[in-house]
């Protein structure tokens, strides 16, 4: 089946055609993400999923269905670059490594460096009502989401 027919069927709501399109282009999209981000498989799969969702919701804007491969590669590249930009803005430091560094430096974690329970509860009370309630139920009271 050619790409124009496949995209035409997708525009008509054919989910089998959508699955075929995904299975056909997902490996190429993964390669684009890996080449740009050098991330692990889970993150790459998430990026491919985001890119494919964007492509799906924008498929009616595609003028020439024969250029779908180039079009979806561009969308994938933009998603991967956006991921890298967000990653640079907010570097993550695992909590466990912070604690290990303090232990390695010979500094024990003292109760002075931790928030008092009263202070923590006051901070939770400053959250918007729904967020505070969910936080209390989940973290403090042990309920699951």
Decide if 65 contacts 3 (C-beta within 8 A). yes
Walk me through the domains of the chain, giving residue ranges and CATH numbers. Answer: 3-89 (1.10.1740.10), 115-145 (no CATH)
What does the pLDDT look like over 106-138, one tens digit per residue? 555 555 556 677 777 788 888 887 888 887 777
* Dihedral sign (CA 60, 61, 64, 68): negative
Quote the CA–CA distance of 50 and 39 in Å, as a whole number: 15
Higher-confidence position of 9 and 123: 9
What does the pLDDT look like over 55-82, one tens digit per residue? 999 998 988 888 999 999 999 999 999 9
Quote the CA–CA distance of 52 and 37 in Å, as a whole number: 17
Decide if 39 contacts 84 (C-beta within 8 A). no
Confidence grade of residue 39 (pLDDT, cut at 50, 70, 90): confident
Higher-confidence position of 80 and 103: 80
């Amino acid at each position: 089946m050619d790409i124009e027919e496949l995209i035409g069927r997708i525009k008509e709501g054919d989910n089998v055609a959508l699955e075929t399109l995904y299975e056909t282009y997902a490996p190429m999209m993964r390669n684009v993400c890996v080449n740009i981000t050098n991330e692990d498989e889970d993150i790459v799969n998430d990026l491919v999923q985001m890119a494919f969702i964007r492509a799906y919701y924008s498929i009616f804007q595609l003028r020439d269905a024969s250029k779908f491969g180039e079009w979806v590669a561009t969308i994938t590249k933009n998603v991967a670059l956006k991921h890298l930009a967000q990653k640079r803005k907010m570097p993550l430091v695992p909590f466990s490594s912070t604690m290990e560094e303090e232990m390695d430096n010979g500094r024990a974690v003292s109760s002075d460096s931790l928030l008092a329970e009263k202070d923590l509860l006051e901070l939770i009370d400053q959250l918007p009502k729904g967020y505070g309630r969910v936080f209390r139920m989940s973290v403090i009271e042990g309920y699951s989401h």
